[in-house]
Structure 1
Amino acid sequence: MAWRCSGIGWPQGTRLAVLRWEGGRVSPLAVGRELGFRAEGERRCVGARGNPCPVGAAVSGRVTGPRCPDCARLDRAHSVAADTLADDPRTYRVYLAWFGPGMAKVGITAEERGPARLLEQGAVVFCWLGRGPLMAARRAEEVIGTALGIPERVPYAEKRAVRAELPGTAGERSAEVVELHRRARALDGWPETLEPLECAPVDHMDVFGLAGLPRATCVVTGLVDGGAVAGTLLAAVGPDLHLRTADAEIVVLDTRLMSGWSLVGAGPGAGLSVPTTALGTVSPGSHQEGLF
């Protein structure tokens, strides 16, 4: 029986990620669980805004956004990130997220989503900066990013490269976020309609299963017809699953690569028979020179 994956999810009120499947089924992603699947046929566009792709277009097995050009445009047209919802009446929060030494970012998320956005990005530590209307939150994001020299995005390749070498204590991991929060609140240009929030760092080390995580040897770059991925789950971090295969290889699978495929179960011995690349290395702070 083939299932079609809808990606990873972090249900509110839980500390356990799940894989979502078309039809509403979910599979809990508990550390230590054996996972295995094999892709079948051709990858198809997942549609946009809850609607199926009208033509069921084929899409590349190597992209994390499994949509055809038309569906991608439709999805982007209703995106806060694309600044197409300036009149959104919801309350938004500005946050600081930390992924490793020298790797911090500033961002915004709808308050009703709670910490889901931070879990989805794989933020090891985060704290709230303020809350208020969308445009005030967006303005604060721009002011903070420019003044403090921190980006709005951190590439996943950089996040993955440091996960096995994170500081051992929560205090060490939160130190940069605490200092950035202090500096951000001292800036001129803070929007009047944005309510400031006290610094209260949240640590996701245990939630993700990062303690004692061995360094990955490779990263899956795409699925192929007949290709298998199987192993023991070591950690679930944002969209990424860290697995130990039957050959003791440590592999990272971005679950966004699973969406749009028909998948069937595979035993633990199926191992890894999809394209991969070696995990790169990143020097702490290398993409963010001059932060402190």
Structure 2
Amino acid sequence: MVRMWRCSGLRWASEGPELVWSGGRGSALTRGKRVAFEVAEGGVRTCVGARGHACPGRTAVSGRGTGARCEECARLDRAHSVAADGVPDDPRPYRVYLAWFGPGMAKVGITAVERGSSRLREQGAVCFSWLGTGPLMAARRAEELLRAALRVPDRIPYAEKRAVRAALPPTEAERAAEIAELHGRAVALGGWPESLTREPFRTVDHLELFGLEGAPAAVGEVSELVAGGAVIGELVAAAGPDLHLACAGRGVVVLDTRLMTGWGLMPAGGGETTVPVREFRSGGASQDGLF
């Protein structure tokens, strides 16, 4: 009998990405590795629960959503989220950062100091710099100040991030130029919370870690997983939750690993990707234990 696995998502360690499976086991993902799995025939995608607890109703969820949670579990997860100000009394120190994903595409955000730069790798930031460090609510106030004063968002859709990965500037200095300018404007602003310590500009570049330098441009993305469908390809790059896979007969296809959660998955024996793939327009992304 073939064993089914359930994916918990993609985790970024300092040395690179790995897929995490229920039970905690991880599968390291190195460039050139074959990624091959299929969704159980007749399977249904079910809610993954919230905050470490299983969904009480094992509710069926859409194959197209990246959250893999029913409305009730999504609400519970959000209620305990720092991003939604669900834990304003969190005593941990936080950092404010500027992240860059491509030309004209920078954002401001916060992350717990103890997480290091893992949050930036999870978001697919091509480069970033810290801005300041302090208590959570001071970091949150600084984030809001910078968002308004610098006119930068705190969220960028993944479709937009994918759209620019094939045309990134070739040098680290060029990639850092926009956040260097924003950093200079940010530290010159008045109104910073007194408890937030400003940090000097030091860029961290992820292009080599992600494998994007010289990587072939993606031609499409997996729109959803379906029962009986397979994903088979060779890993050429990874950024944020996305795997860039060279698939036979298709070229490079992007798989958002968040689509894998909630499904029962098995090793694939075939040679072709058979799940629905949405082609990119004009060669760029649309704006709209297995191995």
Q: Deviations over 1:243-278 (max 9, x none)?
A: 0111152100000000010101114x5322112212
- Note if 1:274 corresponds to 2:275: yes
CA 1:20 to 1:231, structure 2 compared with 1: closer, same or farther past 3 Å? same
Q: 1:7 aligns with which of 9, 14, 27?
A: 9
Q: 2:52 aligns with which of 44, 47, 50?
A: 50
Alignment of 1:132-171 (within 5 A): 132-171=134-173
**Matched residue, 1:38:** 38
**Matched residue, 1:125:** 127
Deviation of 1:23 after TM superposition, in Å, equals 1.1
**Matched residue, 2:204:** 202
Whether the aligned pair in 1 keeps the contact of 2:135 and 2:195 (CA below 8 Å) is yes
- AA aligned opposite 2:275: V
The 1-side partners of 2:190 and 2:280 are apart by 40
Alignment of 1:233-244 (within 5 A): 233-244=235-246
Identity rate, percent:
61
- Note if 1:178 corresponds to 2:180: yes
- AA aligned opposite 2:26: V
Gaps of 5+ in 1: 287-292
Deviation of 1:282 after TM superposition, in Å, equals 10
- AA aligned opposite 2:82: V
CA 1:282 to 1:199, structure 2 compared with 1: closer, same or farther past 3 Å? farther
**Matched residue, 2:26:** 26
The 1-side partners of 2:271 and 2:8 are apart by 23
Q: Deviations over 1:57-76 (max 9, x none)?
A: 11111100001111111111
Q: Deviations over 1:216-252 (max 9, x none)?
A: 1111111000011110001110000000111152100
The 1-side partners of 2:250 and 2:283 are apart by 24
Tell me the TM-score normalised to structure 1 length.
Answer: 0.93
The 1-side partners of 2:145 and 2:173 are apart by 27
The 2-side partners of 1:185 and 1:60 are apart by 44
Deviation of 1:279 after TM superposition, in Å, equals 2.1
The 1-side partners of 2:84 and 2:282 are apart by 31
- Note if 1:80 corresponds to 2:82: yes
The 2-side partners of 1:154 and 1:203 are apart by 18
**Matched residue, 1:290:** none
Q: Deviations over 1:175-200 (max 9, x none)?
A: 11111110100111111110001110
Q: How many residues align?
A: 281
The 1-side partners of 2:243 and 2:271 are apart by 17
Whether the aligned pair in 2 keeps the contact of 1:91 and 1:110 (CA below 8 Å) is yes
CA RMSD of aligned residues (A): 1.5
- AA aligned opposite 1:53: C
Deviation of 1:281 after TM superposition, in Å, equals 6.4
The 1-side partners of 2:161 and 2:276 are apart by 20
**Matched residue, 2:222:** 220
Task: Tell me the SS of whatever aligns to 2:27.
Answer: strand
Deviation of 1:132 after TM superposition, in Å, equals 0.3
The 1-side partners of 2:262 and 2:250 are apart by 28
CA 1:282 to 1:182, structure 2 compared with 1: closer, same or farther past 3 Å? farther
